[in-house]
Amino acid sequence: MTCLNAKLLFSFLLVFFPTFTVSTLLFQGFKWESWMKEGGFYNSLHNSINDLSNSGITHIWLPPPSQSVSPEGYLPGKLYDLNSSKYGSETELKSLIAALKQKGIKSVADIVINHRTAARKDDHCGYCYFEGGTSDDRLDWDPSFICRGDTNYAGTGNPDTGEDYKPAPDIDHLNPRVQKELSEWMNWLKSEIGFSGWRFDFVRGYAASVTKSYVQNTSPDFAVGEKWDDMKYGGDGKLEYDQEEHRSGLKHWIEEGGGGVLTAFDFTTKGILQSAVGGELWRLKDSQGKPPGLIGIMPGNAVTFVDNHDTIRPNSWAFPSDKVLLGYVYILTHPGTPCIFYNHYMEWGLKDSISKLVAIRNRNGIGSTSSVMIKAAEAELYLAMVDERVIMKIGPKLDLGTLVPPNYALAFSGLDCAVWEKK
């Protein structure tokens, strides 16, 4: 084929066939118990790579990779030691990340740096002498690297810039060596292990300006912070309608953290959505007629989700189990960057439904900043038009009147939910 003919063919395809826009789609690739997987968790994920790729996943969030006192990885100690992880060895992790990359999926590391567990103790400060896991002194710290005023450890560093974390020493992130050595470690995770982005754990533990420094120092492809604040509840125990303060807190954290690639999990949307699906769908429109979560004010930096490894645990903050599909119909048709949870995709029989919804999202070019026009938000019906290309509804109400124009065709349906595409 000549160069001219190739160009003509390409132009023909652009004109006569629809283009497919693939927006960022995050998959949480583990659950709280994943470290117990027989044969090693990293190894087990290889079997799912093709399915994840076919489902449109672009990024996978993997568990904390370092040696940890807790098997789940959230009490890390020797950060460079990836062979003591309960999820598998360093070699197995690198193999997994490389295999994912071959299928176009980038890996996001769970970065737990608010606190660290120490390797040695003394009579004065307890466990407060850290080892980095290398033959040199990188990340080998003493009590001067622990925040002064830590309730359980006699640190002599700067005062904490965030909330106290009681199970382990709070690290002094204002210490230049801390920022330098943690940034070097994260860049090592990129260059040597193959990670592309970060999920920052417990960002309430240190100032947003600290997160900004780590993002600037490491240039991730994607970054998201876990800022899980309490929402407002009334005296009757029900969630209050107005959660402006909650979502504004997320917005301010993102702005103070530098914005750009930095995003935040949209806990506001999760809290409102899981209350709304219980016959209170009117909650899904704020006083300005927009989505009431972070996606209503800063969608390009919002990561929406239905559940994660923390919220789904017993006595935590789980989405109603019989309404989970409704949650995915909402987040996969709305702005923001959706995050799909391991349990729902791998174990709850929702893989096909989620994949169909992702295909609709990509086929119609829905992305993190898509526009939403809410047509109905009442007790038993929420219906919205997105980018004037897709209409979705959740709720048991069947009589939609003229809310769905005749030039829209049904593309997906399930119990109390449906999605239409423009013909």
- Supply the residues annotated as catalytic: 201, 226
Least Cα distance to 360 among 414, 290, 305 occurs for 414
How far apart, in whole angstroms, are the C-alpha atoms of residue 255 and residue 258?
A: 5
Cα dihedral 216→218→223→227 (10° resolution) = -70
First to last CA, the chain: 34
Amino acid at residue number 41? F
How far apart, in whole angstroms, are the C-alpha atoms of residue 129 and residue 144?
A: 10
Secondary structure of the chain: what % helix, strand, coil (to 5)?
35, 20, 45
Residue 285 main-chain phi, psi, to 5 deg: -135, 125
Residue the block writes with tokens 């672009």? 58
**Hey, which bits of 117-260 come out as E strands?**
120-122, 126-129, 197-200, 222-225
Least Cα distance to 175 among 113, 236, 132 occurs for 113
Contact at 8 Å (CB) between 214 and 224? no
Pairing of strands 408-414, 26-28: unpaired
DSSP assignment of 257-302 equals TT-TTEEEE-HHHHHHHHHHTTT-GGGGS-TTSS-SSGGGT-GGGE
Contact at 8 Å (CB) between 317 and 381? no
How far apart, in whole angstroms, are the C-alpha atoms of residue 9 and residue 3?
A: 10
Q: How far is CA 378 from CA 281, 322, 396, in A?
A: 5, 20, 11
Estimate to the nearest angstrom the gap between the alpha carbon of 275 and the chain centroid: 20
List of residues 6+ apart from 14 with CB closer than 8 A: none
Helices (H) and strands (E) in the chain, counts: 11, 15
Helix ranges, 159-220 (H): 176-188, 208-218
